[in-house]
Amino acid sequence: MSTRQTYHGLGFILLIFALFSGNWFLWLFGGFFFFMSGLASWWARNLTRWVQVEWSADQSRVMPGTPITVRLRLHNRSWLPLPGTLVQFSLPDHVVPEQADEVVERNARTWIRFRFHLPMRKTAERTFVITPHKRGVLWLGEAQFETIPLFGEEAEALVLPFSFSVLVYPLPLPIPPLDTGTSEPEGSRVTRSHPIEDVTFLRGVRAYSPGDRLKHIHWKASAKTGLLQTRLFEPTANPKWIVIGHILPSYEPVLQKHNDAVNERTISGLAALSVLCRRQSLSYELLLTVRQRGREHYHQTAGSGKAHHIQIMTHLAKLHQYAPTSLAAVLHRLEQQSAAEARIVIVTPRLDEPALEMIERLTRRGHHITVLDVSQDQPVIRRYGLAAANQRRVSCR
């Protein structure tokens, strides 16, 4: 029998005696038990309005294995104390908490618990550390709240809503050194000018068009002409990189094989290439063999800045639910659209026959193709098209 049923039973018995005896004290005493039951229900319904959880962290974007210091605040805005209050949160099992009162592993989840003794109209604060070890978005939207009942009823878990998220980037995979083309002497190979602007050499100005960057506006020329003018720069001779990520299905029924670990290595290899291009200021575009917004593959346009690097790393961190497509189809489309002598890097754990045929066709067109094999723990680099490139160099000389 619950406490509420006990209150109702005692109140009913007292009201029966009051009905036959006519004693006003029994009427009041019996009604008091019904009043206590109603007051307890009203308190439980409105407790979430007076108790609030606030969660703040010192970082919002981290790499795997980076400790995050979290400040937890519990606000009691009611006029009654809350002794023996228990607040617990559910985190993924790869998150390691520290400095918590209690840590429980249950159903592939990590539950962290904190105990508070809140006076009325006060705020309690706790500081602890969490360390995520996998990429993705660590998102929390609610906390479970329990406290000692003030009216003697059973303890009931309440849900306190709040919002907190941390983006965990993929960990870059250690890869062998790649030939970026920057070590070749000037004039050793014939390159066509790419439409990538080198801000070191100013060529002139032109009329402003929507979409031009604010820092490229020539303010002196704009003041002289009375119209906005945009700087023009000399085109650079650095080649544009095309990075292709081959994502396999999560499960292949024919092979009866799960590919989650292999896909994680592929994503880590793509993250390593993004970091390499960012450090060496190389322009690159990213293609993934996954459907994106109705298209057959995901395509991130070329860029070399910090914003471009963060955008790609953010997409790789959030890549979980996907529909893989064929690598050969992406290479076939690349054959029709890309310029000649492009540097293509393919990150893949497996190359089938159609993909190998497309690689041969691309190398005959003069493309420099590098395959980063991530099927094993140690990545292996395979290069295609270098013999054709050396033959063209000799003929040019």
Tracing tokens 């109705």 back to the chain, one arrives at 294
Q: Which DSSP state fits 215? A: G
List residues bridging with 185 in a β-sheet.
none
Q: At what angle do helices 327-337 and 353-364 cross, to 10 degrees?
A: 20
Give me the domains of the chain, ranges plus CATH numbers.
Answer: 51-168 (2.60.40.10), 197-235 (no CATH), 241-396 (3.40.50)
At 135 the pLDDT is 94
Residue type (1 letter), 23? N
Q: Name the residue among 202, 204, 242 with its Cα closest to residue 337.
A: 242
Q: Can you read off the two tokens belonging to residue 283?
A: 């322009």
List residues bridging with 298 in a β-sheet.
288
* Secondary structure of residue 57 in the 3-state scheme: strand
**Sign, CA torsion 330/361/349/240:** negative
Distances (CA, A) of 53 to 204, 296, 323: 58, 43, 38
Q: At what angle do helices 24-50 and 3-21 cross, to 10 degrees?
A: 150
Determine the Cα–Cα distance for residues 284 and 346; give it in Å rounded to an integer: 13
Is 192 exposed, middle or buried, given 0-12, 13-18 or 19+ CB atoms closer than 10 A? exposed
Is 159 exposed, middle or buried, given 0-12, 13-18 or 19+ CB atoms closer than 10 A? exposed
Determine the Cα–Cα distance for residues 384 and 362; give it in Å rounded to an integer: 9
Q: Given phi > 0 = left and psi -120 to 50 = alpha, else beta, which region is 256?
A: left
List residues bridging with 386 in a β-sheet.
none
Do 264 and 350 form a contact (C-beta atoms < 8 A)? Answer: no
How far is it between the farthest Cα atoms of the chain? 121
Do 132 and 139 form a contact (C-beta atoms < 8 A)? Answer: no
Determine the Cα–Cα distance for residues 384 and 357; give it in Å rounded to an integer: 12
Tens place of pLDDT per residue across the chain (397 aa): 566 677 777 777 888 888 888 788 888 888 877 777 777 777 778 888 889 999 999 999 999 999 999 999 999 998 888 888 899 999 999 999 999 999 999 888 999 999 998 888 999 999 999 999 999 999 998 999 888 776 666 667 788 998 999 999 999 999 988 865 543 433 444 444 444 444 556 778 889 988 777 888 999 999 999 999 988 765 555 567 899 999 999 888 888 889 999 999 999 999 999 999 888 878 889 999 998 877 888 998 888 888 999 999 999 999 987 788 899 999 988 887 766 567 899 999 999 899 999 999 888 887 888 999 999 989 999 888 654 444 444 444 4
